């Protein structure tokens, strides 16, 4: 039976009309969302708070800030455009000391991006604006939002724990050990370095698509000490280095990095990282721990990598499907400088081209990596050598055909970490591990993306 629920979240009052609950997901009718007064100016400057309204386009050409205790909320269908040129002095950022909520929906997603004239695949990794830079008092809740083309160089006043002057800024950087970092069903497209980096925080990162994160280096999602939570049902295609890296370094917190990485689909990653032993798919280092199950790895420079200094006694892994169309990839399904080993539950072969996962609309041999030569034992490619068809999800679907070897091979004997609120419109959507390997489940659950970020328009 439906009922009214009063929700208070960081001084936001929301009235929602609850419907039934199914599995691990909360289904709610369209809420009337607001946070303080409507933002009436279409160009944002200085300190900002309140509500960006549905159907409106807003701009910012200089840095904007959400102050501690304030909230900026983007209603479904709102657009925020950064007017930057990729230079150090003319590429604005969002500085978040309060709470940023982008509440897009599947029917009405939000955008934080660049002008349509720049929003082209030929500009991937150009880094036109400075991303969302969060300090130690920030919270982030982002749902059904397109985050595109960040990575402009940091200035001399940037957080020294994250950047030196001139370093590319991450699409989102987060540093609040007690904060909530919820990014769900969103797209992170074409960042010049890491798509997202969390240096401590409680996270739930599920159902997203990461496309071409990092020009010469950088992960889709880089997690440091004090990061605790879940990374599940994501697609990562064309990352420069790793798709998901968990390491207990780069932080002063005593809290261990413990992240569950499960039911993700990872493709064509690691080839732009020139350093040996770096890059490809999932990497645990320096005391990090977590559960790693049910992932599909396709044509990656390195497969699973757990170094000896990771918390190897508290890392569980298995039920991974490996595919490679180049012998150099197969030799590194388990990175040779790590300690991860083949598990009996893995779907793997030493034969080139074996175990095609049979995606609905993606040819895993669209590029034959064996045709590329490299001076290194493992393949290294410049981004100019990689066609957009293997670094973005354009015109692809990574759901599984009915004859896929990944169907029914998932491990479901664990539960996601639950350190975040899970009720209301701004709560985390906790998703249990799936019975199928990969981000898309045969029952229609899992990742809900069927288009690339740039295939959506506003």
pLDDT confidence of residue 157: 83
Contact 128, 147 (CB under 8 A): no
pLDDT confidence of residue 428: 96
- Radius of gyration (C-alpha) of the chain in whole angstroms: 21
Beta bridge partner(s), residue 21: 26
How many degrees, rounded to 5, is the angle at CA 124 between CA 201 and CA 326?
A: 90
Is the four-CA dihedral 151, 284, 96, 102 of positive or negative sign?
positive
pLDDT confidence of residue 20: 36
Question: What b/e readout covers 195-206, taking b as 16+ CB neighbours within 10 angstroms?
Answer: bbbbbbbbbbbb
pLDDT confidence of residue 165: 93
pLDDT confidence of residue 33: 63
**Cα(129)–Cα(61) distance, rounded to whole angstroms?**
9
pLDDT confidence of residue 75: 98
313 Cβ contact list (under 8 Å, min separation 6): none
Closest CA to 145 of 178, 188, 94: 188
pLDDT confidence of residue 435: 99
Residues in the chain where the model's pLDDT stays below 70: 1-35, 251-252
**What pTM value is reported for the model?**
0.92
């Amino acid at each position: 039976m439906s009922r009214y629920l009063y929700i208070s979240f960081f001084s936001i009052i929301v009235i929602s009309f609850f419907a039934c609950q199914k599995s691990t997901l909360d289904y709610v009718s369209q809420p009337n969302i607001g946070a303080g007064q409507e933002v009436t100016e279409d160009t944002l400057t200085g300190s900002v708070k309140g509500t960006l309204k549905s159907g409106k386009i807003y701009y910012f050409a200089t840095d904007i800030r959400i102050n501690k205790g304030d909230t900026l909320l983007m209603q479904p269908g709102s657009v925020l455009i950064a007017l930057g040129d990729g230079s150090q002095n003319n590429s604005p950022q969002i500085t978040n000391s309060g709470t940023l909520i982008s509440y897009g929906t599947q029917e009405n997603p939000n955008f934080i991006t660049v002008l349509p004239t720049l929003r082209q695949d030929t500009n991937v990794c150009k880094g036109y604006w400075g991303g969302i830079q969060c300090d130690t008092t920030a919270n982030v809740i982002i749902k059904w939002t397109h985050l595109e083309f960040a990575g402009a160089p940091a200035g001399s006043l940037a957080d020294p724990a994250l950047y030196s002057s001139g370093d590319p800024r991450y699409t989102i950087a987060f540093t609040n050990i007690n904060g909530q970092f919820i990014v769900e069903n969103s797209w992170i497209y074409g960042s010049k370095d890491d798509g997202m980096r969390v240096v401590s925080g409680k996270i739930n990162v599920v159902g997203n698509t990461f496309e071409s994160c990092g020009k010469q280096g950088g992960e889709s999602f880089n997690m440091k000490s004090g990061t605790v939570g879940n990374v599940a049902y994501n697609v990562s295609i064309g990352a420069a280095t790793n798709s998901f890296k968990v390491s207990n370094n780069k932080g002063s917190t005593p809290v261990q990095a413990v992240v569950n990485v499960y039911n993700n689909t990872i493709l064509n990653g690691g080839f732009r990282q020139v350093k040996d032993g770096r890059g490809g798919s999932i990497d645990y280092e320096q005391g990090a721990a977590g559960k790693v199950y049910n992932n599909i790895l396709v044509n990656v420079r390195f497969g699973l990598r757990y170094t000896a200094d990771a918390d190897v006694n508290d890392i569980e892994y298995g039920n991974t499907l490996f595919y490679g169309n180049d012998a150099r990839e197969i030799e590194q399904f388990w990175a040779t400088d790590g300690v991860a080993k083949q598990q009996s539950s893995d779907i793997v072969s030493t034969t080139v081209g074996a175990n095609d996962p049979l995606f609905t609309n993606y040819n895993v041999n669209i590029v034959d990596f064996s045709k590329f030569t490299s001076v290194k034992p493992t393949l290294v490619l410049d981004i100019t050598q990689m066609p957009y068809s293997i670094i973005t999800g354009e015109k692809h679907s990574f759901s599984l055909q009915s004859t896929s070897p990944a169907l029914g091979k998932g491990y479901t004997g664990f539960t996601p970490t639950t350190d975040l609120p899970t009720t209301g419109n701004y709560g985390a959507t906790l998703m249990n591990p799936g019975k199928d390997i990969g981000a898309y489940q045969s029952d229609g659950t899992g990742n809900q993306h069927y288009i690339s970020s740039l295939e959506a328009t506003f």
